[in-house]
Amino acid sequence: DAKTTQPPSMDCAEGRAANLPCNHSTISGNEYVYWYRQIHSQGPQYIIHGLKNNETNEMASLIITEDRKSSTLILPHATLRDTAVYYCIVRVGGDMRFGAGTRLTVKP
Amino acid sequence: SQTIHQWPATLVQPVGSPLSLECTVEGTSNPNLYWYRQAAGRGLQLLFYSVGIGQISSEVPQNLSASRPQDRQFILSSKKLLLSDSGFYLCAWSVGTGPSPLHFGNGTRLTVT
């Protein structure tokens, strides 16, 4: 599976959009992009995934660039409860390999 | 809907004692099952995965073993715990061989003293 690169930490003001970037320049054509988050002392929570097209669900939006070498997870109106470590993973299937992720801190 | 259960939530065990952590999935058949470990302040490490009853693949040689006695039951065991076995143990499930995501349980925090 391709490797991903994420900034180690980001801050966001409460009520504003949080935009979390991820680089996956070696992604192959059949690899999907997944986003998870982990709130302290809990299991990772699945957020969203996509292949080529932008995706949106009740939690977030996923924007994938046309060349698929990077993506952005958007939390449209961040709340204090969105403070967590966010993981970007690329995968075809099978198990998932987690990196260090981005620690997002939402501030009041 | 599908749910995953892990127990216990926390566990404190002495060095040299045995371990058994259980994970069960409800609401799906023939899931893929996974055990991960997360050491304090570290990322998630895949320990074992299973695509069916009695089929276990080990990712990291260690003091632990896994078994899948039933379709939706996954057990993580050790005969003698080491201090280095302390960590946050997570079970996860997925379906099929395609892009369906993994879904994680709430984990077991194990402290070996």
Residue A44: what pLDDT? 95
| Residues B92, A42: C-beta atoms closer than 8 Å | no
| Residues A98, B88: C-beta atoms closer than 8 Å | no
Does residue B32 belong to the interface with chain A, where contact is any CB pair within 8 Å? yes
Answer for the pair A83, A27: CB distance below 8 angstroms, yes or no.
no
Tens digits of residue pLDDT in B68-102: 999 999 999 999 999 999 999 999 999 988 889 99
Q: What is the dihedral of CA B35, B40, B42, B43, to 10 degrees?
A: 30
The answer, yes or no, to whether residue B61 has pLDDT greater than 80, is no
Task: Name the CA radius of gyration of chain B, rounded.
Answer: 13
Q: Which of residues 54-93 of B touch A (CB under 8 A)?
A: 59, 88, 90, 92
B104 closest CB neighbour out of A44, A95, A99:
A44
| pLDDT tens per residue across all 108 residues of chain A | 668 999 999 999 999 999 999 999 999 989 999 999 999 889 999 999 999 989 999 999 999 999 999 999 999 999 999 999 999 999 887 788 898 999 999 999
Largest CA distance in chain A: 40
B43 closest CB neighbour out of A34, A45, A100:
A100
- B9 to each of A29, B38, B61, B65, B68, how far by Cα in Å? 39, 14, 25, 19, 20
Residue A2: what pLDDT? 62
Q: What is the DSSP string of A40-58?
A: TTS--EEEEEESSS-EE-S
B99 closest CB neighbour out of A32, A41, A42:
A32
